[in-house]
A and B are shown apart, each in its own frame.
Chain A
Amino acid sequence: MAITEAPKIITGRIGHADSHTLERYLATGGYDGLRKALAMTPEAVVHEVDTASLLGRGGAGFPAGRKWAMLRKSPVTYLVVNGDESEPATFKDHLLVERDPHQLIEGVVIAAYATQVSQVFIYLRGEFALGLERVQAALNDAYSLGAVGSDIFGSGFSVDVVVHPGAGAYICGEETALLESLEGKRGFPRIKPPFFPAAIGLYGEPTVVNNVETMSNLPWIVLNGGSAFAALGEGRSTGTRLFALAGHVNNPGVFEIEMVKTTFRDLIHAPVLGGGIPHGRELKAFVPGGVSAPWFGPDQIDLPLGQDEVAGAGSMLGSGSVVVMDDHTCAVRASWRITKFFARESCGQCTPCREGSGWLEKIMERIETGNGREEDLDLLLDACDNIAPGLTWPPQQTTICVLGPSIPSSIGSAIQMFRDEFLVHIKEGGCPYG
């Protein structure tokens, strides 16, 4: 495995200090993809995206072209862009909205044309103050240019795009919670199936929900063709993908990497990528795909960065984040903090998630602070089992959304991989790492 010479599909422009401006965008081929798309039929655009095998970059990895095809025919339909990015250790959309907002807008209008929707909402995380300003400013420029609004570039196609700020709630990244939030309500996920947003979405109308990174790939795909995209990567995991690398690495950041051709080892250790682990320490474990995902140990470091490859090994590529923990890391403390996050962010609709996360946090906290009891390990696993029976991966669904069943991932991994550390905490009332 190696770092390939794949083109920078979505980060090509961000080396420029003014990458967020319309001037830079137009000077680097901006809105050419949209012009080309508008000269095609909507079906032909969908066909290119299908050919590209563009998997959604928000977490679930559903093929974008297939999702669009499922959109129920109706006079009023919506496209909602998910820029809520709150999965811990995920910060790739942050880069895209701040540094290349026009690319996002161009992708969004292409998707709107392909799916023939009448209005788009870009839901951005409220904490992205600069990102909100950048996308709004870019949108104002795009309207003046005629790339958004009525009769786009004289094509007869019209669509409005509205930037909508969130207000700080992780659960609003879940697509149905996001729709509730966009309707001005609490972010309570809706029960699905039977009705996915493509059938009953925003205001009860058919709605496509796609991630910011998914959208940002579209200008390139239209310009270069779906098969050029599909030629990169392997199997279902085509093209490039952004990976947000953080934790104990010398060079944390967002890297655009060809799917499958590169491994976790490359990402973490290559000098041009993560640059290895600081202070000459060793790898203890890493969390792929966001904190909802089960952890991997050093023996899984040669896994390729591909959706099915990682799923086959018992975890997920999820949101495209990778957190590295060195051998001085306390597994109890790390999994306690992740559990605390879920307890804080559970929306409270489902008993296993609401009560379970609270219980787990309490037990984890007392172990972490040296007040654990002998029976706590069994109690933890029992509580985990009540939230996600059998602790299988992917987990069994016991709740309205998958936040609940993801809670046990970190505790389950930590106990399975580092049981000794839990025992030391409990028996000696303290942490072996101080």
Chain B
Amino acid sequence: MYTQGLDQKSDAVDPQRDDEVRLRQFQARIDQEEKIEAKDWMPDAYRKTLIRQISQHAHSEIVGMLPEGNWITRAPTLRRKAILLAKVQDEAGHGLYLYSAAETLGVSRDELIDQMLTGKAKYSSIFNYPTLTWADIGAIGWLVDGAAIMNQIPLCRCSYGPYARAMVRVCKEESFHQRQGYEIMLTLSRGSDEQIRMAQDALNRWWWPSLMMFGPGDADSKHSAQSMAWKIKRFSNDELRQKFVDVTVPQADYIGLKMPDPDLRKNDETGHYKYGEIDWEEFMQVLAGNGPCNRERLESRQHAHAEGQWVRDAATAYAEKQAARQAAA
């Protein structure tokens, strides 16, 4: 998930619709691990939480194409170029399934995209960081897709059927991306001094933002309890972050790269790595629009959308003409 486990202000909920008996029956279904489907009754708040989470996730897939797309023309070998193109194509596909999953909840893709373009909807703040060298493409695959998988695997069991099924498909591809990213880092780490420096620099820049992908610490994460009860969320932000750290630190060791965290220690009793303090001020700033690339990312999407308007209009006009011709025939 690229939704950052972030609890935003809840949208207004219609209390009339959520009468108590239905609520109890609904919760009972969830407790029995039944899947909720699009046509089933659901509380308004459940619907809204899902729309927000799924659309944030979809926007992240789409905006996430930009930092990686930045290196398509400069990929160092034809093989790497092909792999990167395939990855970016996958991410567009993830965006498409996720928008479709959100649409089952009674909202249109156009509406959702409009919310993203006007800055009303969030996307994962990780994509507001720049890709400065080729090693960043490795670091994104390894760390960003790696963190996404940690979040998304539990979502394959999410109570909402269409979202859970979309995640099964997405997860398979994300784990592919993670391996390919790590393989780029591995290759660089066995390369020249310049390549090793490039890889270490990318890790230095992407490590902390990757940890921030899991969202605020549990103490500051107010609405998680409800999402847990609804089985939209299965693990807390800190639990997922810890899993990610535990898996990733040995991977860095293996390729001889150093985590940019002087406080990182393995606790031999628990087997977990204890990591240093995350700079939440930086996180809040990026979220507030002050990351290194927030403006560029949004402008790129807005520009493509505006430039594409006449194309979409033409497609609509042509479809209407065709329909009229068929009706006349």
Bind each other: no
